[in-house]
Amino acid sequence: MLKLKGSHHPVISYRPIRPSDLEVLERIHCDLFPIRYETEFFHNVVHGRDIVSWGAVDRNRPNGHSDELIGFLTARIVMAKDSEVEDLLRFDSSKSDQTLVYILTLGVVDSYRNFGIASSLIREAIKYAANISNCRAVYLHVISYNNPAIHLYKKMSFQCVRRLHAFYFINGQHYDSYLFIYYVNGGRSPCSPLELVMLLVTYAKSGFKLAASRLWRNEDRKISKWAKCKESGSLLPTMQNKRILIADSGAGGGCQFV
C-alpha cells in the first residue's frame, strides 16, 4: 500500500485513463471494492469503449510514479428513456434523445484521501454532463453502509431519491443501495420541490375554501330554519317545514324524503 511521507506535498492533476493504466486500474479496484469486475470492464475503460473516464495522478510523486493513477472515475452515457431513473425525470416529449451520465466506479487510494480528489473527479463528470446539450442528469448507486460516500454526494448537492432493497449481493449477503441524482441542463424531477410546495399550498387553500363554504351553508341553513320558526310562531319548525327542508337537502343528490 502506498504511503506518503510527512514532508510530501502532492500536486494533483487529472487526465483521461489510458491503456498503460490497465494494471494499476485493476489493482486499485481490487483493493478498494468488495465487488469483482470482469477483465472486459477494465479493457473497455482504458480503451474508451462506451465508457468515459478520468484519472488522478500526483505530479510530485517520486521514483518515476508521477503519472501513476491514484484515483479514478468511470462513467457511461445512457439513454434517459431506457434508464432506471426515467420516472425521476420530467421529459420533453419532443426530445426523445435525452441522455444521462451514469457513474460506474469512483475511488481514491487510501493514502491520498482527504485531498479533495474524489470531489474534483465528480465535478469533472458533472462538467462533462453539462457540456452535453441533451444530457439531463448524473446519477449513481451507493451501498447503504458507505457513509463517507453518502455524505460526500449530499455535500455536492446530489439528491438521494430512492433506496433499492437487496441491490448488491456480496460474499453471499444482500445489501441495499441508495440512488443519487444530480440534475444538469434544466433537467428536473417530475415534481420539483417548488412545485410540491405550490401543490400543498393550493391544496390547503382549496381545503380552507371548502371548509368555509360548508360553514357558510350551515349558517345559512340555521338562519333559514330560524326564520321559518318565527313565521310559524313556534320555537321549532313544524313537521311540514322539517319534511320540506329534508327534501330540499336531498334533492341535489337525486333522493327525496317524505
Helix (H, G, I), strand (E, B) or coil at 99: strand
CB 2 within 8 A of CB 70: yes
Q: What are phi and psi of 208, to 5 degrees?
A: -65, -45
Q: Cα–Cα distance between 140 and 146 in angstroms, integer?
A: 13
Nearest to 103 by CA among 88, 81, 85: 85
Q: Cell 448537492, residue?
A: 157
List the chain pLDDT tens, one digit each, 258 residues.
456 656 688 999 999 999 999 999 999 999 999 989 999 999 999 999 999 999 999 999 988 899 999 999 999 999 999 999 988 887 665 567 899 999 999 999 999 999 999 999 999 999 999 999 999 999 999 999 999 999 999 999 999 999 999 999 999 999 999 999 999 999 887 655 555 454 455 445 555 555 555 556 655 555 554 444 444 333 333 333 333 222 333 333 333 222
pTM: 0.71
d(Cα 134, Cα 136) in Å, to the nearest integer?
6
Q: Please check whether residue 180 is in contact with residue 140, taking contact to mean a CB–CB distance below 8 angstroms.
A: yes
Q: What region, left, alpha or beta, does residue 126 occupy, with left being phi > 0 and alpha being psi -120 to 50 degrees? A: alpha
